[in-house]
Amino acid sequence: MPRIALALPRSSMLYEAAIAAEIFGVDRSDLASGRGWYDLVVCTADGSPHAWLPHLPSASYAEIAEVDSVVVPSTDDPDAAPDPELVEALRTAHGRGVRIASLCTGAFVLAAAGLLDGRVATTHWMHADDLARRYPRVDVRSDVLYVDEGDVLTSAGKTAALDLCIHLVRRDLGAAAATGIARRLVVPAHRSGGQAQFIAAPAGPRTPDGLAPTLAWARSRLYQPLTVRDLAGHAGLSTRQLARRMRAELGLAPLDWLHQQRIARAQELLERTDASVEQVAASCGMGTAATLRRHFHRAVGVTPTAYRTTFRLA
């Protein structure tokens, strides 16, 4: 059972803290095929229970170094210096191999601790320029929903915190668990694209349903050798028009989107079926087992067989 700390200094904001508590603090072990859910502890400066989450176990910042992961929610004033005790606790925890994740402007706390130096990171698009200016050693991206650097993760603004938390569930407990909790919360298990979708831009002509019908059509045919021309033809667009539309609506090139969908389908089949790697490769349109292994390892970080060993549903 992964042990996770939710760091709540006085500057924390309720929305992102509530997202983390909802994802990690409610027992949903029925979604994890007997592997157990998360053991969440709320960490405050003096270890006393937090008024927002009095029902959850509490501890001081010192406990941060003893867990598997730490989540730092947004701060109500990114310009203010963060709690020095929290900053030091995060440094100590990271030095011991604890995974650190920030939500929204919580990235400023991680940056103050030096945990984002030399890394790619994100925060709410309204604060991205300020983060880049104050911490020039951080490669700030304002057009993504979250960034996963392995041991350090950052999310964009507000509801992107939900995207990152579900992503952590996917990493820890598998795609089926992530899909299950997303379904219960009535949200997408994975949103394609990034913050660019939500930054105000001049309005322009757009079809009512966007590309949704074409994307649904493609998802139902991932076993086929679909091409960008196939997608463009279904959408009634040229390949260039399709690329522009997908960039605008999803933040992804057509081939990148297709690749992402094929990997997701492979994960689902590895978890839920006894199909061989060769059969999974054919079913998700990867062609051969060798091709699947190469792309799967690049995207997920492990081989298909290792993934199945960890996340196979009973």
Q: pLDDT tens across 96-141, in order?
A: 999 999 999 999 999 999 999 999 999 999 999 999 999 999 999 9
Q: In the predicted model, is pLDDT for residue 204 greater than 50?
A: no
Helices (H), 189-235: 212-219, 228-235
Q: How confident is the model at residue 206 (pLDDT cuts 50, 70, 90)?
A: very low
Q: Where in the chain is the domain with CATH 1.10.10.60?
A: 209-314
Q: Which residues pair with 174 in a beta bridge?
A: none
Q: What is the mean pLDDT of residues 178-197?
A: 76
Q: What is the mean pLDDT of residues 259-274?
A: 90
Q: Which residues pair with 42 in a beta bridge?
A: 6, 58
- Report how far apart, in Å, the C-alpha atoms of 105 and of each of 31, 39, 61, 118, 158 are: 30, 25, 19, 18, 9
Query: Half-sphere exposure of 12 toward its Cβ, with a 13 Å CA cutoff?
Result: 26
Q: In the predicted model, is pLDDT for residue 189 greater than 90?
A: no
The superfamily CATH assigns to domain 3-185 is Class I glutamine amidotransferase (GATase) domain (3.40.50.880)
Q: In the predicted model, is pLDDT for residue 198 greater than 60?
A: no
**What is the CATH code of the structural domain delimited by 209-314?**
1.10.10.60
More confident site: 163 or 250: 163
Note the pLDDT of residue 85. Answer: 96
User: What is the 8-class DSSP label of residue 48?
Assistant: P
Nearest to 98 by CA among 178, 1, 3: 3
Q: Where in the chain is the domain with CATH 3.40.50.880?
A: 3-185
Q: What is the mean pLDDT of residues 209-221?
A: 86
Note the pLDDT of residue 243. Answer: 92
pTM over 0.85: no
More confident site: 312 or 102: 102
Nearest to 163 by CA among 23, 1, 312, 5: 23
Note the pLDDT of residue 194. Answer: 60
Return the residue matching tokens 């604890």: 98
